[in-house]
Amino acid sequence: MSVRVRFAPSPTGFMHVGNARTALFNYLFARHHGGTFILRIEDTDIERHSEEAVRVIYEALKWMGIDWDEGPDVGGPFGPYRQSERLNIYKEFIEKLKEKGLVYECYCTPEELEEMRKEQLKRGEPPRYTGKCRNLTEEEKEKLRKMGRKPVLRFKVPEDRTIVFEDLVKGRIEINSRQLGGDFVVVRSNGMPVYNFVVVVDDALMKITHVIRGEDHISNTPKQILLYEALGFTPPAFAHLPMILGPDRSKLSKRHGSTSVREFKEKGYLPEAFTNFLALLGWYPKDGKEILSMDELIKRFDIKDVNSAPAIFDTTKLNWMNQVYIRSYPVEKLTDLIIPYLEKAGYDTSNFNRKWLEKVIEVTREYLTVLSDAPGYMETFLKDDFEVSEEAKSFLAENPDRLKVIELFYHKIKSLEGELSEEKFKEIIKEIGKELKVKGKNLFMPVRIALTGKMSGVELPILVKLLGKERVLKRVENSLKQVNL
Ligand code: GLU
């Protein structure tokens, strides 16, 4: 039997990292086994599902390098793949449950249910639906309808059944039907079927073999197993992925920083680094190799190696991984990704030669943690009309030799014939040292200030080589204007 798995997000408007990890594990599992990965949009719970919210899901998955074999946009043999387009299918299966006498109408109001709950808690009992409406007569129902009440449909939970499943991550799970909170709702009073019901119908009809999802769904699984049985379907295998916690071991939330995929993308995490990092949230390869491409992840991924203990979202590790990827990324691709950050920072990048920009990125990439750091680190290369810092100005004012160094440097560059190479620059500095009898800080720092306006930064030979003679002269003029006042 070939593997068929699905990722079934609700279009909430953003893709949480937990969902992204679920998508990734399903994808890795499918690809590892040469199976099928399905995208299903679960939009029955959503009041108003917007196209934009669905697009957010597509965009996040595509950015992560995840593609799907069946889904709303690509179709497939078991569609439609949006639950809001499957309502007729659900009706048919609700009818089946009705015919079998496995569901009944419940007219209890939210106030009555709340009252029931309070009394149970007062008695020290776990809250559950008592089955009050299980045996209503036709007349009683009619009376309630006349009162304007609209029924929900509840599923008759068997009295004392032990429901068992072998979770591929958590191991054997047993739960007694008494612990399920009584007969649960399968269709709301507005006629909409609920998640636990539609997910079973869809997974069965779409021939899903393995349901891989977050641990927060474990409590739904016994209810779903009862529905599989009631509808005459065989349940799939289940694998519940461990929770993702923040470094303080509380549930990962906004408090810990970004939690949506789009935010990570916007900050400038590379998709390969982000995906690689997510893969290690709850799974670890046997060989301990941590930097892994998608292909390598697919090759190594084994659901049996997923840890049942919670995974910690460690931003320091993510940052480290991103640095590793930035350093080895193809420079052309890196440049494409960095250009929008430069534009956002106010640079008109069409003013720079593309090859030159790539060279600058080549020498600055090792300082970057995220791509949004790039404009800051690249400024030294991009901006000729910088301001000389106050600290630098007072440094120059301390000793008249320092200004002389700048002036002599300017003249030597001006009269230079041919290219300003790294070697040429080093020679010129040496000459200045000899001629003015200065060395160390008194020699290098004035040149650095003249070229950058700052007292620290990139290596000067690299900078001058990339700037070229004309821009070096322009910069020195700009600095001299500011310090000669
Ligand atoms: N729509 C559900 C969610 O987003 C899917 C759960 C499942 O995979 O069964 O959590």
Q: What gap in Å lies between CA 439 and CA 436, rounded to an integer? A: 9
**Residue 214 Cα, ligand 1 centroid: separation in angstroms?**
8
Ligand 1 pocket, residue 9 CB under 6 Å: yes
Which ligand 1 atom minimizes the distance to the CA of 203?
9
Domain end residue (candidates: 241, 266, 297): 241
In a domain, 435, yes or no: yes
Q: Could you tell me if residue 477 is inside a domain?
A: yes
pLDDT of 47 reads 62
pLDDT of residue 255: 83
Please report whether residue 357 resides in a domain: no
Query: Total domain count for the chain?
Result: 2
At residue 49, the pLDDT reads: 64
CA distance 292 to 270: 13
Domain span including residue 125: 87-241
Residue 67 maps to a domain: no
Tell me if 94 is assigned to some domain. Answer: yes
Map 434-461 to HEC letters. Answer: HHHCCCCHHHHHHHHHHHHCCCCCCCHH
Residue whose CA is at the smallest distance from ligand 1 atom 10: 9
CATH code, 174:
3.40.50.620
Q: Which helix (H) or strand (E) holds 339?
A: helix 331-344
Q: What confidence score (pLDDT) does residue 257 get?
A: 81
Structure-block tokens of residue 224: 């779903």
* Per-residue pLDDT at 51: 86
Q: How far is CA 466 from CA 167, 360, 420, 441, 469, in A?
A: 59, 7, 9, 23, 9
How confident is the model at residue 77, as a pLDDT?
A: 98
* pLDDT value at residue 144: 96
- Is 151 touching ligand 1 by the criterion CB < 6 Å? no
Q: Which of 207, 217, 124, 126 is nearest to 167 (CA)?
A: 217
**Domain stops at, among 208, 241, 274:** 241
Tens of pLDDT, residue by residue, the chain (485 residues) = 799 999 999 998 899 999 999 999 999 999 999 999 999 999 986 666 688 999 999 999 999 999 999 999 999 999 999 999 999 999 999 999 999 999 999 999 999 999 999 999 999 999 999 999 999 999 999 999 999 999 999 999 999 999 999 999 999 999 999 999 999 999 999 999 999 999 999 999 999 999 999 999 999 999 999 999 999 999 999 999 999 999 899 888 888 888 999 999 999 999 999 999 999 999 999 999 999 999 999 999 999 999 999 999 999 999 999 999 999 999 999 999 999 999 999 999 999 999 999 999 999 999 999 999 999 999 999 999 999 999 999 999 999 999 999 999 999 999 999 889 999 999 999 999 999 999 999 999 999 999 999 999 999 999 999 999 999 999 999 999 998 75
- The whole-number pLDDT of residue 485 equals 52
Pick from 191, 220, 241: which residue ends a domain? Answer: 241
* pTM score, whole prediction: 0.93
| pLDDT on residue 253 | 84
The answer as to whether 1 is a domain residue is no
Question: Is the CB–ligand 1 distance for residue 12 below 6 Å?
Answer: no
- Residue 264 CA to residue 267 CA, distance in Å, equals 5
Q: Give the alpha-carbon dihedral of 282, 284, 290, 292, to 10 degrees.
A: -90
Mutate to test the pocket of ligand 1, among 195, 206, 220 (most ligand atoms within 8 A of CB): 195
pLDDT for the residue numbered 46: 61
Query: Does 451 reside within a domain?
Result: yes
Question: Best mutation site among 10, 208, 221 for ligand 1, i.e. most ligand atoms within 8 A of its Cβ?
Answer: 10
Q: 3-state DSSP call for residue 131?
A: coil
Distance 196 CA to ligand 1 centre (A): 9
Examine residue 339 and state whether it is found in any structural domain, yes or no: no
> What's 388's domain CATH number?
1.10.10.350
